[in-house]
Every structure is written in C-alpha cells, then in structure tokens.
A and B are shown apart, each in its own frame.
Chain A
Amino acid sequence: MDLLNDLALGFSTALAIQNILYCFVGVLLGTAVGVLPGIGPTATVAMLLPITFSFEPVTALIMLAGIYYGAQYGGSTTAILINLPGESSAAVTALDGHAMARQGRAGAALAAAAIGSFIAGTVATVVLAVAAPPLARVALQFGPAEYFSLVLLGLIVSIALARGTALKALAMIALGVLLGTVGQDIYTGTPRFVFDRRELYGGIDFVSVAVGMFGVAEILRNLENEQASTAITSRVRNLWPTREDWRRMAGPIARATGLGSALGVLPGGGHVLASFTSYAVEKRISKRPQEFGNGAIEGVAGPESANNAAAQTSFIPLLTLGLPAHPVMALMVGAFIVHGITPGPNVITDEPALFWGLIASMWIGNVLLVLLNLPLIGLWVRMLRIPYKVLFPMIILFAAIGTYSLSFNAYDVYTIVFFGILGYILIKCGCEPAPLLLGFVLGPLLEENMRRALIISRGDATVFLTRPISAVLLVLAVAALVLAVLPAIRKRREVVFTEEE
C-alpha cells in the first residue's frame, strides 16, 4: 500500500493552507489568461516565475502547474461564447461549442466542457499517480520518426473536422502547413517566406491566425444578414445539460479521457493532438455525424476532456524524468533548479513530498476549477445578450490589444486583418478554417521531426517504415486517408453535410 502512503503524503502537502491558496491563485490566473485572447500560459509563467523564487519549492510548482492546466479550462470559454479560440486545442471546441451557443445552449456547452474537463483531469491525475514511471518509458520510445508519423496521422484524421468535402479539407490542411513554415528554419537559421520583413522571422502568431480565421471571418459573415444588429442569441435555454445531454456526454468523456491521457504523455507534441483526435473519433463513431459542426455536445465534451487529460499527463516526463514536454515545463525545470532541486529521475525518491504534493494538488486544482467555473456560466451566458454590434467591436478590440501586448509586434495585428479577410473568402468558397488552423499548428512539428529523423538516418527514408511504431502509425494514416476520400463515402458526406443556413 505504498501508493496510499504516498498519496497521504501528497495530500498532506497539498492541503497545507499556503499550498491550497497558491493552487487557487494559479488556476485563477490560468483561467484568466485562457479567457483573455493573446496572453498564453507560457508568457504568464515566464513573468511570474521570479516571484515564486521566494516560495517553498512545492508551493511554487503547485502554482505554476495550476496556471498551465487552468489555462486549458479557460480557453474553451471564449471559443464557445464568441468563436474565438485562445489556444490550439480550443479551436476544436469552437466548432460545436459556438454552434451550441447560437442555439441558446451556451450554458450546456460550458457545463459539458467544465464537467468533462473535471472528470478527465481526475482520471488523468490517478494515471499520473499510479503509472507515471512506466508511461514515461513508453514515451521515450517515440523518436523523431514516430512523431512524424503520429503528426501525419493526426493531420489526416483532422479531415474529419470539416463539414464539407474531404478534398477541400485536405487543401486547407496543406495551406495551413505551408503557413506554418513561415519564419526562420531551426536547422539552418535560413529565413523562409519572410519577404525581407524582420517581423516575420519568428513566424506567424497562432493567436492572430485563430482570431482572424474564426473571430473576424465570422463577424464578416454575420454582417451579411440582419442578425448583425441583434444579440448572438436572445433565447437562452436551460443553463444545464439536459438528461439527454448527459447520456450523450458520457461515452465521449470516457473515450477522450483515455485518448488524452495516452497522447499527453508524449513530450514531442502529443498534447496538441489530443483534442482534435478526440473530435475526429467521436464524429467517426457517432450515430449522428451530421450533427457535428451544428452543435453536437459530444464535439464539446470529448475534445475538452481530452485536452485536460493531456494537460495533466504531460507532466509525466517532467516529474519522472526531469524532461520538459512544453515551454511552460521548461520554465518549471528552472524553478526546480533555483530551489536547489536537480531535475531528473531521482526527484521521486529524493523529494517525495514535492512529487506527490504536486500530483495531489492537481486534483485539488481541478476541484477548484470546477467550483470556479460552474458558477461563472450564468454570467458568461448573459454576455451573449449584449447586442452584436456592441459585442463584436469590443471582441476585436480586446483581441487586437491582447495579441499586440504579447510581443509588441504590429504585424500580429495586421495578421488578424489578413486572416480575417482570407477566412471570409474561404468560407464563401466552402472551405473551413479548422483544418487550416490545425495544419498551421502541426505543420512545423511535422517538418521538424521529418527532417530530424532523416538527419539521424542519413537521408534514408525507409526509417519511417522500419521502425515498428512509426510503421503502424503510417498504416493507420493510410487507412484514415482511404476512408476519408473513398468516393462512395464522399458522396454520402456531401449528401449529409449540405448545410447552408
């Protein structure tokens, strides 16, 4: 019963009054930066890190971790309410979450996201407590070749995100991947597609693309009809999920929790894949795939659960091996070092109170997040009654300020305008922004890992097939592609998805 002893130690640490307090401060800040467009958890943690140096080590880490997973909670709120994803994972939530909001079911969508996140977070924390070291070993089996194949699979699976034809979805993914190559190449430092603008050396900012493609393009489209002068929805139906909703949420939350927990462990970008793989899976196995994109609660509960589960398990490589999986965690490694703790596999044995205290605090943090977010739902939903012509200029203003404040690069604001117009044109052509955004996020991962795998193999491309995990993933990718583009299936898709409201 070592585990029980360890957990007892963990909870006695995490329940110390200052640890609960800073856990709350962390998740509160995380929720705030998740809701505000522009500022992300990495910037927040970087700013706050020096302040934590005067804390106890465990307190510091509890707060920093809280910011990280708290932001995953907060990001879904704006995605659902105003179609403005603040983080890559929330882009998927926007698809059905915002559709639900337009139908007056924002409350149910927010509740589904919060409850799904809580359940997933709880289970993932248990996974972390029980199986962290062996899972970390599995994660180490993933080298550049495996990540390439995994990302490729993810990209192909994301065709399912589109309501229209598979071909257009593929084209959007490809365009996204190309946009992701803008900036300096990490291997040679060569600037690519920057047109001699230094502002583009760092690449295109994700938030600007998301705000433009989703938010601004949506506004332009709404300006076409009289809806522009009224609120998003005046009829707000029940704030809570109905009995039917609960029934429909259960399966997706369970599957997404498993999927998210597994993908989250992979340090090379698994957590990015979690939410939309879950969406694709739910859409594929649903008896009502036609509802996806039009307000299917499964499309909210699944991805949100997956991304929260992944946010928890992505701590596994850090805690068990001292290897950071995310820029936020690289900063946390710094916090370890400042406090005189050598990050590495010995932390579990040398600093048991810290290791188990942090794990216990994650569960407490999830409880705090639910307590924090459920009462806020009523408040958020009321926001939708603000007339459209008042609300949307405000949203654009906030988004522009948020994006600009991140790096004081006016190009990030121009980017919003550019992608707003591009997004509108694409919508008019029947192309959707979600696959493009995912291509944009995953493209650099795809390229980086492909090139690294080829560098290591001295240009021998068979490495993707001779390594077993990579080969299996590629086979799955081919299968997914065949399923997506088979003419018969495509015909059915077209019949089912010809919606133009």
Chain B
Amino acid sequence: MRSTSRYRATTQMIATIGVVTLLTACSGNGGTTGTGGSTGATGTYPEENITFVVPFSAGGPTDTVTRMIAEPMAAKLGGKIVVQNVEGAGGTVGAGEVARAEPDGYTVLMHHIGMSTAPALYQNLDYKPLEDFETIGLVTEVPMTIVARKDFQPSTLQDLVTYVKANADKVTLANAGIGAASHLCGLLFQTAVGVKLQEVPYEGTGPALTDLVGGQVDFMCDQTTNTTGQISAGEVKAYAVTTPERVKSLPDVPTTTEAGLPQLQVSVWHGLYAPKGTPQDVVAKLSEALKVALADQKVIDQMAKLGTAPVPAESATPQAHRAKLEEQLGTWAKVIADAGVKAAS
C-alpha cells in the first residue's frame, strides 16, 4: 500500500508542477498540500485543509457527488476541502488508505455501497468497515433503474418478472463488472424474482450501456446517473426505480413497490467516514456541515440533475449512517455468498 501514497504524492506533484503553474488562475484547487501535523485542540478545527478521499476516478458519480457537497461543507466549516481520487480494486485501495490515516479529522472518506459489499467480495481486505471507521453521515441514495433494450418484449415490471421466469435460459442480464453496482442490483433482482439468469459482464458502464442501447443484451439495472439520459431519449425502456420514492427526473417510471416487486430495494448509498478514533466533536462538526450542505438549494438542484436527492437531515447523522452500514453489510454478505461471487484480488 506504500506505493499508493507514493502514487498520490507524485501524482499531486506532477499535477502541481506541470499543470497548476499553467492554470493556477482558473484552478479551483491550486496549491493543495496542507502544512501537516499540528492539530492539538479540536475546538479550532479546521486549522488546515481537509482532504476528502474519493476511492474512484475523477468524474465518476461518487466523485461528482463529493465535489458538490465539498464546497458548501467547506464554507460551513470555515476551511478548505481538497478532493483527492485514490482509485483501485473497487474502492478498497482508497478506503484502506483512509482507515490507516491519522484520525485527526483532516482525512475523510467518501464511499458508497461498496463499503458494505467489499468484505464479502474481497477475501484479503485490509480494513473492517465497522471497526476501522467513524461514520459521519449518509449523503445521498442514488436510485437504480431497471432498464431494457427498447424492443425487449415485456412492457411492465410484472411482465418482466413473468418473462424472465419463463425464458430464464434465453434472457441476458448485463453488468459493468464484478462488484459493480449494476452487478449487485442484478444479483438482488435474481434473488427477488427467484431465478438464475445469464449475466454478461462488461468492463465498465459505458460498454455495457452501449450494447444495451444497441440491443445486444436484454436488460440491466444501473444507477440513474448513467441511465437517465438514455431513458429520456427513449433509447432504452425503463421498468422501475429501485427506491421507495419516484425520481424527479423520471416522473413516469414507477417504483419497484408500485410495480409489484417490493423486495427489490437497492440504492447506491453514499456516506462520509473518518478514521476510527477521530475526536467526537470533530465528527459532530463534519456531520453538522454535511447537513447544511445537503440543505443547500444548489446541491439539491445539482443532485436532481443526476436523478437523485440528498438524504433527509435525520439520515445525515453518524447513528443513522452506522445503522445503514450494519444493515447493508448483513444483506450483501448473504446475497453475495448465495451467488458465490468473489472478486479475486
């Protein structure tokens, strides 16, 4: 894991030297490195830049959500938040790094549903979600949508359930790779319906969605972030959203409960974490700032464009977040074990 820190340091160095000199004027995050070390009294937190580690690539949905809330959170805290992408192995590289970081409140992790699936997927995980982190609060629950190629026969979710049961040997279910949200949702769908389908893995959402739009595969379940554009343009057919509420940007798409498959509840939930041992008042400050950010009209509008919404204020707390994490760890341990899935790494 040493190499990861070196990678970060050097990436930052290259970016700083090569680019920031060129673009300082327009850069939102120019000189990024903090002074390091000195944090005695927490009463004056924050005294230096806070780093939000995103364990996925820049520009991805999780990264986007992080950058949205970073600005209003920084304003509330009266400091500066720097977003850093530490990619690799389904988010476990970045999470592991934060687990081992100094618990001083200056290193914070944004992670999604992958926090709860990693223990079941990765045998050699070098951190424990419940033991190595303080939960700060939930951020958003990005709904998933069940979508199909536009000429796929079933027209409603009920039809789909009947159809896949009758044609289990013909139907193909795409996903964006082992452990991806689309893979997890697909597993849950098969459990809910009680059928085993032929899964077709792709390397990422892009190629999977391309083949779905092109009619090469039958259906998949993916985040609204990825599917909204294709659904509104009529390139794919949407059966349902997997959350209790409908999604504003897709008003005509029913929820799974409305459409008769209430067992299928899944969202790509995001939460903020600090390393275990971070002072409680610092966690409280972060949680407070999170609540303020989630009530920010600009954040609400930006999230709406992604087909999601901030969680209600009572979920943006350490307690609600921990409860969700515990519940999800249990759910996924079972679903993943039943399906016999392992991400070797």
Contact = CB atoms under 8 A, between A and B. Distances in A.
Interface in B110-126: none
A323 B19 CA distance: 28
Interface string B17-28: 001101100111
Contacts of B345: 184, 189, 201
A267 B202 CA distance: 13
Interface residues of B, number: 61
Interface in A329-372: 329-335, 337-338, 340, 342-347
Interface in B194-234: 198, 200-204, 206-207, 209-211, 213-217, 225, 228-230, 232-233
A25 interface: yes
A408 interface: yes
A337 B200 contact: no
Contact of B344 (A184, A333, A340, A344): A184
A432 B249 CA distance: 56
A51 B19 CA distance: 9
A187 B216 contact: no
B172 interface: yes
Contact of A189 (B19, B210, B342): B342
Contacts of A54: 26-28
A54 B29 CA distance: 9
A409 B235 CA distance: 42
A130 interface: no
Given A186-B201, A321-B235, A338-B67, A47 B15 contact: yes
A334 B85 CA distance: 13
A188 B344 CA distance: 8
A333 B230 contact: no
Contacts of A189: 178, 342-345
Nearest to B229: A344
Nearest to A63: B23
Contacts of B42: none
A141 interface: yes
Nearest to B23: A51
A267 B29 CA distance: 33
Among A267, A333, A338, the most chain B Cβ lie within 10 Å of the Cβ of A338
Contact of B57 (A334, A452, A458): A334
A335 B64 CA distance: 9
Contact of A50 (B83, B225, B343): B83
Contacts of B59: 46, 49, 330-335, 337-338
Nearest to A448: B203
Given A338-B64, A408-B7, A323 B213 contact: yes
Interface in B275-302: 302
B35 interface: no
B229 A346 contact: yes
Contact of A53 (B28, B60, B216, B342): B28
Contacts of B63: 334, 338
Interface in A400-450: 405, 407-409, 448
B11 interface: yes
Contact of A323 (B83, B206, B215): B206
Contact of A345 (B11, B60, B198, B233): B233
A409 B215 CA distance: 40
Contacts of A323: 206, 209-210, 213
B244 interface: no
Contacts of B28: 50-51, 53-54
A458 B213 contact: no
B143 to A, nearest CB: 15
Nearest to B4: A408
B311 interface: no
Interface string B242-278: 0000000100000000000000000000000000000
A344 B57 CA distance: 20
A41 interface: no
B154 interface: no
Contacts of A47: 11, 14-15, 19
Nearest to B28: A54
B10 interface: yes
Nearest to A326: B206
Interface in B158-209: 169-170, 172, 177-178, 198, 200-204, 206-207, 209
A407 B232 CA distance: 39
B94 to A, nearest CB: 14
Contact of B216 (A50, A144, A186, A343): A144
A10 interface: no
A289 interface: no
Contacts of A184: 344-345
B24 to A, nearest CB: 10
A295 interface: no
A482 interface: no
B128 interface: no
B298 to A, nearest CB: 10
Contacts of B229: 322, 342-347
A456 interface: yes
A54 B172 CA distance: 41
Contacts of A334: 57-60, 63-64
A456 B172 contact: yes
A331 B57 contact: yes
A244 B85 CA distance: 52
B38 interface: no
A14 B58 CA distance: 25
Contacts of B144: none
A337 B344 contact: no
A140 interface: yes
Interface string A300-325: 00000000000000000100011111
Contacts of A329: 206
A46 B57 contact: yes
A370 to B, nearest CB: 22
B3 interface: yes
A201 B344 CA distance: 10
A409 B88 CA distance: 14
Nearest to A202: B88
19 contacts: A50-B85, A51-B28, A54-B26, A143-B214, A184-B345, A186-B177, A189-B178, A267-B206, A321-B235, A330-B206, A334-B63, A334-B64, A337-B59, A345-B233, A346-B233, A405-B14, A408-B3, A455-B198, A456-B200
Given A53-B28, A187-B201, A267-B207, 4 more contacts: A46-B85, A321-B235, A343-B229, A405-B14
Q: Top 8 A-B pairs ranked by shortest CB distance? A: A334-B59, A344-B229, A140-B214, A143-B216, A345-B233, A189-B344, A54-B28, A324-B206
Interface of B: 3, 6-7, 10-11, 14-15, 19-20, 22-23, 26-29, 57-61, 63-64, 67, 83, 85, 169-170, 172, 177-178, 198, 200-204, 206-207, 209-211, 213-217, 225, 228-230, 232-233, 235, 249, 302, 305-306, 342-345
